[in-house]
């Protein structure tokens, strides 16, 4: 096992990795920008090193320079740009530093999204239909022609990186070029690559993910499946495992296909193979995520397997700690992203100081976060600051616990999406487990609030009215001025 690991990230994922390293007795170093000096990952790590680059955690050259200077054995990039950067992985390998991920060769393969789909299709697996190549934002005529061939609706997706950043749904031709510009700009900012590609999409559908563990000894196992269909701007809002409503036959077929894809590209460590599931039961391979995902916690609650620990073991050359027969999928788990944003005002980010912070608790409730009362949510990074995940023996038990935990979760000082998450958890389609990727379009911000919320709002409004009109003034009861209390104490004559 490694003796010293550098965590090349920030936020809740950095805290998560620090804790697992310390559980294993590994010395853990972290990086920080001046604004992150008081961040939780800095407070919990054994060592912390200041980044001087204006690019911060995205500056792969400075990260590698720090790693060499302090002589670490390995770098854990978490998720984000560095985790999917083949050039960074190759530079680390040449320097004799392990990158906790699939390696530069596998990254180069799976990040060619159009090429991956072509290879998977050539193997006889049903896939989504992508454009024939990637495009720059200035190739307007070629983009319009390719979109007409694919047909609408379609997705504009970043050629590099994950599904969330730079991915947008286009329902009609008039939206195409403006959407491409926005996607290209986001992809450039996050991945240093402004190329995009198009992908035909069938609506409504569901988004099914299969997490995979693979080692350097040819062993691969699946860790069940997840449903990430509830999204905003193609970024998952709520996720649950296992995906509701799938027959066991269909579920096992999807797992088998995911294993076949992972083996095809020799993806080591943790990865996720993603599928679009249509209403007629057809499932189409979409892409491979060659890193730990934001939502990995929901799989950990279901399997009780520490995925980050397995990443460390695999990167150190050890075989998997589990066989497929060892993987037990028990009960049900649900997860949501808690963001500092205002869903009722176009999801406007809400950075600032946390003045009050109350976490939910109780059995089988977990929160991964980097904030605490008095800490800051910065302007320049993602609004995600916490992830709540709960487990229950059944989906009903899990759902009740999920709703209760969301009610307990309180944050003061910034706007959050907690109110929206409570509405989702109470929505009839979500409660029944019959939602699709169209849920966000038809339900988010349109569902009537629960009656208890209306009751609380009425009480708040009444108190506010009283305070504003100063209607609550102290009054001395007339009975008190009559002297009855003095008479009651007088001794009998």
Q: Which residues are catalytic?
A: 291
**From CA 458, how far away is CA 434, in angstroms rounded?**
32
Q: Count the Cβ atoms, other than its own, within 10 Å of residue 216.
A: 16
**From CA 148, how far away is CA 154, in angstroms rounded?**
10
Q: Output the six-digit token pair for 465.
A: 């009215």
Q: 């947008």: which residue's tokens?
A: 168
**From CA 356, how far away is CA 413, in angstroms rounded?**
7
**From CA 256, how far away is CA 66, in angstroms rounded?**
41
**Among 121, 10, 7, residue whose Cα is nearest residue 73:** 7
Q: From residue 351, give the alpha-carbon distance in Å to each of 58, 101, 291, 348, 382.
A: 20, 31, 27, 10, 10
């Amino acid at each position: 096992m490694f003796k010293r690991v550098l965590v090349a990230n920030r936020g809740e994922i950095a805290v998560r990795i620090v804790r697992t390293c310390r559980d294993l007795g590994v010395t853990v170093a972290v990086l920080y920008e001046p604004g992150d000096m008081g961040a939780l990952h800095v407070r919990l790590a054994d060592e912390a090193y200041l980044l001087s680059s204006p690019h911060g955690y995205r500056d792969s050259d400075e990260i590698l320079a720090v790693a060499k200077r302090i002589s670490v054995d390995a770098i854990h990039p978490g998720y984000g740009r560095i985790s999917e950067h083949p050039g960074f992985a190759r530079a680390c390998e040449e320097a004799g530093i392990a990158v906790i991920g699939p390696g530069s060769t596998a990254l180069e393969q799976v990040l060619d999204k159009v090429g991956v789909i072509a290879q998977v299709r050539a193997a006889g697996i049903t896939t989504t239909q992508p454009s024939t190549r990637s495009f720059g934002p200035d190739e307007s005529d070629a983009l319009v022609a390719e979109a007409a061939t694919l047909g609408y609706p379609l997705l504009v997706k970043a050629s590099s990186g994950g599904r969330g950043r730079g991915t947008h749904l286009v329902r009609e031709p008039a939206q195409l070029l403006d959407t491409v510009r926005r996607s290209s700009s986001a992809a450039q900012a996050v991945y240093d690559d402004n190329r995009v590609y198009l992908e035909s999409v069938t609506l409504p559908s569901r988004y099914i993910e299969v997490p995979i563990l693979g080692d350097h000894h040819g062993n691969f196992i699946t860790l069940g499946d997840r449903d990430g269909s509830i999204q905003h701007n193609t970024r998952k809002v709520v996720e649950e495992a296992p995906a509701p409503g799938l027959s066991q036959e269909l579920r096992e077929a999807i797992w088998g296909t995911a294993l076949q894809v992972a083996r095809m590209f020799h993806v080591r460590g943790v990865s996720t193979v993603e599928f679009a599931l249509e209403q007629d039961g057809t499932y189409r391979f979409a892409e491979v995520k060659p890193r730990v995902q934001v939502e990995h916690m929901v799989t950990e609650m279901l399997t009780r397997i520490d995925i980050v620990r397995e990443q460390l073991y695999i990167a150190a050359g050890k075989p998997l700690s589990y066989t497929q027969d060892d993987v037990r999928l028990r009960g049900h788990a649900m997860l949501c992203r808690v963001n500092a944003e205002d869903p009722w005002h176009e999801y406007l980010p809400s950075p600032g100081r946390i003045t009050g912070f109350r976490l939910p608790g109780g059995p089988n409730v977990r929160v991964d976060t980097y904030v605490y009362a008095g800490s800051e949510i910065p302007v320049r990074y993602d609004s995600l600051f916490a992830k709540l995940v709960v487990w229950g023996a059944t989906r009903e038990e899990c759902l009740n616990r999920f709703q209760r935990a969301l009610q307990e979760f309180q944050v003061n000082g910034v706007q959050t999406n907690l109110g929206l998450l409570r509405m989702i958890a109470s929505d009839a389609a979500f409660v029944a487990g019959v939602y699709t990727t169209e849920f966000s379009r038809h339900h988010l911000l349109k569902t009537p609030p629960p009656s208890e919320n209306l009751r609380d709002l009425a009480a708040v409004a009444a108190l506010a009215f009283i305070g504003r009109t100063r209607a609550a003034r102290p009054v001395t009861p007339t009975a008190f001025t009559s002297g009855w209390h003095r008479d009651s104490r007088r001794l009998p004559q």
